[in-house]
Amino acid sequence: MVRIETLLRFVTYLCAVAGFSAARPHLGAVYTAGFAALSSLALLRDSGKLTLPVPRWFLNLASLGVLAPSLLQISIENIVGPVLEGLVLLLGIKLLEEKKTRDYMQIYLICMFLLIGSTLISLNISFLFYFIPLMLLSTAGLILLAFFSHDPGLALHGRVVPKVFSQSLLVCAVSIPACALIFVILPRTDFPLFSLFGRVEAARSGFSDSVSLGDVTEIQEDPTVVLRAEMPEIAEKDLYWRGVELDRFDGVSWRRGAERPAEPWESIPRSGGTDQTIYLEPSGARYLFALDRPVAIYPDGIGRRKSPRSNLWHENILQRIRYRAVSVPSDSAPGTDSDLDRYLALPAGFSPRISEFAAKIAGQGGDSIAHFVKLLRSGQYEYSIEGLHKSDAPLEDFLFEYRRGNCEYFASALGAMLRSAGIPARLVAGYRGGYYNPAGKYYLVLQKNAHVWVEAYRAGRWLRIDPTPVNALTPEEAYRESILLRVRLLFDTFDYYWGKFVIGYDLNRQVALWGKVKTAITRPDLDIMRMWDVSVLLAPYAAGAAVLAGLIAFMLRRAWRKPEHVLISRFHRKMRKRGYQRIRGEGLEEFSNRVSDPELKIRAAEFVSEFQDIFYRDRKLGPYETKRLKSLIRCL
Spatial contact of 443 and 228, defined as CB atoms under 8 Å apart: yes
The letter for the amino acid at 12 is T
Q: How does the average pLDDT of the chain come out, rounded?
A: 79
- pLDDT (average), residues 346-357: 90
Q: Among 222-236, 272-286, 537-551, where is mean pLDDT lowest?
A: 537-551
Band of residue 166 on the pLDDT scale cut at 50, 70, 90 = confident
Question: Where is pLDDT greater, at 537 or 115?
Answer: 115
The letter for the amino acid at 576 is R
- pLDDT (average), residues 288-302: 81
Identify the pLDDT of residue 539.
57
pLDDT at residue 529 greater than cutoff 70: no
Look up the pTM and report it.
0.64
Tell me the Ramachandran region of residue 512: left when phi exceeds 0, alpha when psi lies from -120 to 50, beta otherwise.
alpha
Considering 10-14, 132-136, 169-173, 381-385, the range whose residues carry the highest mean pLDDT is 10-14
Which runs of consecutive H residues, i.e. helices, occur in 97-159?
101-121, 126-150
- How many C-beta atoms lie closer than 10 Å to residue 567's C-beta? 21
Q: What is the pLDDT of residues 382-424, one digit of tens each?
A: 888 777 777 778 888 889 988 888 888 999 999 999 999 999 9
Identify the pLDDT of residue 168.
81
φ, ψ dihedrals at 530, nearest 5°: -65, -40
Burial group, residue 535, by CB count within 10 angstroms (0-12, 13-18, 19+): exposed
131/147 Cα distance (integer angstroms): 25
Band of residue 64 on the pLDDT scale cut at 50, 70, 90 = confident
Q: Among 220-229, 352-361, 429-438, 478-487, where is mean pLDDT lowest?
A: 478-487
- pLDDT (average), residues 535-545: 56
Question: Where is pLDDT greater, at 193 or 238?
Answer: 238
Considering 520-524, 547-551, 592-596, the range whose residues carry the highest mean pLDDT is 592-596
Question: Where is pLDDT greater, at 197 or 120?
Answer: 120
Identify the pLDDT of residue 57.
73
pLDDT at residue 199 greater than cutoff 50: no
69/483 Cα distance (integer angstroms): 46
Identify the pLDDT of residue 498.
75
Tell me the Ramachandran region of residue 441: left when phi exceeds 0, alpha when psi lies from -120 to 50, beta otherwise.
left
